[in-house]
Structure 1
Amino acid sequence: MSTPNTDTTGPHPTAAKILDALAASPGDTAATIADRTGLGRSTVTKHLSMLERAGQAERTPGGRNGARKQPNTWTPAPAPKPAPKTPADPGTRLRPGELDALVLAHIDAIDGDQSQGPAAVAKAIGRSSGAVANCMARLARAGTLKQTSDKPRRYTAGPR
């Protein structure tokens, strides 16, 4: 009697065997992978479907040859590239002064004469509109931004 897999850190041993076979020979069919690994074709097919749902394998439909359906081929999925963390990521806590830099960079990137409100800037940089409003008011008091309207509050780039 076999013992259940209690390792939760890695893939199931059968899935790992299939992934190794895919890495060794991408573009194989389930039947070829079954022959290569010594596993049953139904087991390989089941695990390939699970690996596909997990994003670890990619299926290429086999198409048709006349009236006959061709088998699907399988390849390992490319490793996902981690998204770089930038200060504009909403989940990242900013250091002192970073919000000022984000707001100024956005204001500089738009047309110099076009005024922007805190809500539009906040939406563009992915930050809280209250924090951006406070930041823009502080930058206006410092002379870095120029407030062009009180209601609604609008700002343009100031002399720098």
Structure 2
Amino acid sequence: MTQPTRIEDILLQYAPLLARIAATYEADLGLREDLIQDISLAVWRALETFRGDSSVKTFIAKVAHNRSVDHVLRESRRNKNLSNESVDDLQNLTSNTTNQEKHLDLMSAIRQLALGYRQIITMQLEGFTQLEIASVLGLSEAAVAKRAGRARQQLEQLL
């Protein structure tokens, strides 16, 4: 398989994962699409360095989370007074079904978490194990477990 076909296949296969990760970091649809493009480009560039130390999914998630954190930091510097207006706009545009409202509430709450907690919760929702999360974030499994517990407590309070 040639490299262009491989990257196209990989990006196509993991597009839903990238979209979900981007959605936990960016509520604005336009900025989210830009973030997904940034993540895709970063994955394309980083695949040359992939050594097989982890699964491709874990590797891609690590790249996506790192790029997303950079995005949040860049946007927060650009706009010091971040608000929930875009989340409110998004809620107003959706239908009033209970599942969609719960999903939006969860996404809004996740976006309010500190980046370290947000990363762990997002990866748990994607089905990553604590060991995989620890590997991606460069933490110990114990630290991941502690942060996950704290993140869940904060989510419960927010919801």
TM-score norm. by structure 2 comes to 0.24
Higher share in strand: 1
Higher share in helix: 2
TM-score norm. by structure 1 comes to 0.24
The structure having more radius of gyration, on CA atoms, is 1
Greater relative contact order structure (CA < 8 Å, 6+ sep) = 2
